[in-house]
Amino acid sequence: MDFKLSFHVNEAIYLKDPEGTDLGKKIVKRSIDLINDLGFEAFTFKKLAIEIGTTEATIYRYFENKHRLLLYIINWYWCYMEFLLDFQLQNLTNPTLKIKTIVQLLTHDLPESSGGLDYNKKYLSQIVISESSKVYLVKEVAEINKNEVFKPYKDLCAKIAEVITSYNQAYLFPKSLSSTLIETAHHQQFFSQYLTKLTDIQEKDKEKFAEKFLEDLVFKVLA
């Protein structure tokens, strides 16, 4: 599926809209590449500036710090996931099939042909798995949340919760389960790559382990 996407990312996250200039787009694109290569802790604006041939001061005109840049990238991902969720569920009526589709979406890399953007979607998926919790597991989360910067994540969870409720209207914790599914998908994919002893992964089902685990979890919880 090929299409052109543009999402409105909360203005409180950035100082200057990176989507408004070619340099801003380059900052986000190359940040995804570098964060994937180096890890968020080792990533710096100095290294990014060298990579794209500009100055640290120029990057600081767009983002207050690297945490805000990561938050921008993750926000874009949440918006993108909500779009893909709507797209893939639009012709489905069976709640069981909807849940399976959601689980598959959460446990696989983003489709390469989608979005009409120059971002490396495999790298973006890996950043979300490895780094996404760092945007809200911070002491300042309550202050940051005042600007509703986590709204795309909340909206995504709410849509998944609606599907859970349609499957079992008596279930009391649909939003909690939806956020648990998202975070568990990230953790199990990370553990499967780096800390396999924390999982029950087998070589024969390595590619689909997280998907199978989440399906087993959600349907047993909702049974």
Read off φ and ψ for residue 207, nearest 5 degrees: -70, -30
User: Does 69 map to a domain?
Assistant: no
Q: pLDDT tens, 184-217? A: 999 999 999 999 999 999 887 788 999 999 999 9
Does 12 map to a domain?
A: no
pLDDT score, position 1: 46
DSSP secondary structure string, 38-72? Answer: H-TTT--HHHHHHHHTS-HHHHHTT-SSHHHHHHH
Structure confidence at residue 5 as a pLDDT band (50, 70, 90): low
Q: 121-131 vs 174-194: helix axis angle to the nearest 10?
A: 110
The CATH number assigned to the domain holding 120 equals 1.10.357
Answer yes or no: is 150 within a domain.
yes
Asked if residue 54 belongs to a domain, the reply is no
Structural domain includes residue 31: no
Predicted confidence (pLDDT) at residue 220 exceeds the cutoff of 50 = yes
Q: Is residue 81 part of a domain?
A: yes
In a domain, 43, yes or no: no
Q: Residue 47: inside a domain, yes or no? A: no
Res 144: pLDDT: 87
Cα distance between residue 70 and residue 169, in whole Å: 36
pLDDT band at 111 (very low <50, low <70, confident <90, very high): confident
Total domain count, the chain: 1
pLDDT in tens, 22-55: 999 999 999 999 999 999 999 999 999 999 999 9
For 133-185, how does the pLDDT look when each residue is reduced to its tens digit (9 = 90+)?
999 888 888 888 888 999 999 999 999 999 999 999 999 999 999 999 999 99
Domain of residue 143 covers 77-222
pLDDT at 137: 84
